A = this chain, B = another copy of it.
């Protein structure tokens, strides 16, 4: 198993990316190819004492910034760390790709270089969050803002395929984000999406899911348009960060509360895991012909390693083939 990692993507690249790669090789037993300007990457590895075993470097001198046009990855910055990573994945030189770089560039480049699975109308960002009962995938969380009902129906099918294989759910419950539980609720887009999801025999559609139900575990796959899904995801992240911060303030208030925090320490870690989005690793980019994981822009080494784990699991389970099979009959129909 070889994972291609965009060495220059993210706020803490390349140091945290390289450290994450070192951890991934050691703990997960994968091989890594890191893309980026080779001399700079080698120098960081040397000066930081990062063990190079299991890590290949593929030279890509250009760098895509957050300000660059997403399409630069396939145009004037083909030799960027992300552009090369995509071309290598497309050429079969690795099993999956991880990037903490510009989401728009990854989506545009992924769609143009790797292409969508036959029948898939739009690729979607699909992060998975821990809930009270298990996990929920939010699909789409920002790839397509101007959405159509038929895209959303496909999100349900793709998300279902992922949750089946990766979380071992027999029949993942697919819900539609909405402002009420009745079928008639929501904008025209959502009323139409509801009809399509309900009629789709490939999935276990459980109907509309309100905001309150998302973290309480009302569904395993939450379908939304990219605009709404992005706001839901980031609102969850922000609320989690906010409460963690408030909690910290509470624990550091005085000696007594610090002692209490110490007494709770073994329990605090799993709690923090559920509230802190940094634990999650990355968002899958579903619908492309090969596995791509978008790691959080602020990823540190541990987050990057978790994203590599996720990428390897997705490649191993061959989710791409599952989605291709699921899409084939609907194309014939």
Contact = CB atoms under 8 A, between A and B. Distances in A.
B274 A146 contact: no
A177 interface: yes
Interface string A245-284: 1110011010011011101100110010011000000000
Interface string A220-263: 00000011101111111111111101110011010011011101
Interface residues of A, number: 55
A226 B179 contact: yes
A102 to B, nearest CB: 12
B253 A267 contact: yes
Given A227-B190, A267-B253, A179 B145 contact: yes
A131 B187 CA distance: 29
A47 interface: no
B146 A187 contact: yes
7 contacts: A132-B242, A132-B246, A146-B187, A213-B238, A228-B231, A240-B243, A260-B261
Nearest to A229: B179
A152 to B, nearest CB: 14
Interface string A54-89: 000000000000000000000000000000000000
B268 A250 contact: yes
B232 A235 contact: yes
B250 A238 contact: no
Given A187-B145, A257-B264, A233 B250 contact: no
A188 interface: yes
A179 B232 CA distance: 10
A215 B237 CA distance: 10
A200 interface: no
Nearest to A218: B238
A210 interface: yes
Contacts of A44: none
Contact of A227 (B186, B237, B271): B186
A199 interface: no
Nearest to A145: B187
Contact of A267 (B142, B235, B250, B264): B250
A216 interface: yes
Given A187-B146, A211-B232, A267-B253, A216 B243 contact: no
A70 to B, nearest CB: 12
A114 to B, nearest CB: 23
Contact of A250 (B178, B231, B264): B264
Nearest to A244: B243
Contacts of A187: 145-146, 227
Contact of A211 (B213, B237, B264): B237
Contact of A235 (B132, B188, B214): B214
A272 to B, nearest CB: 10
Given A132-B246, A179-B227, 19 more contacts: A145-B187, A146-B188, A210-B230, A211-B230, A211-B231, A211-B238, A212-B235, A213-B238, A214-B239, A215-B238, A215-B241, A216-B238, A231-B231, A235-B239, A239-B240, A239-B243, A250-B264, A251-B264, A257-B264
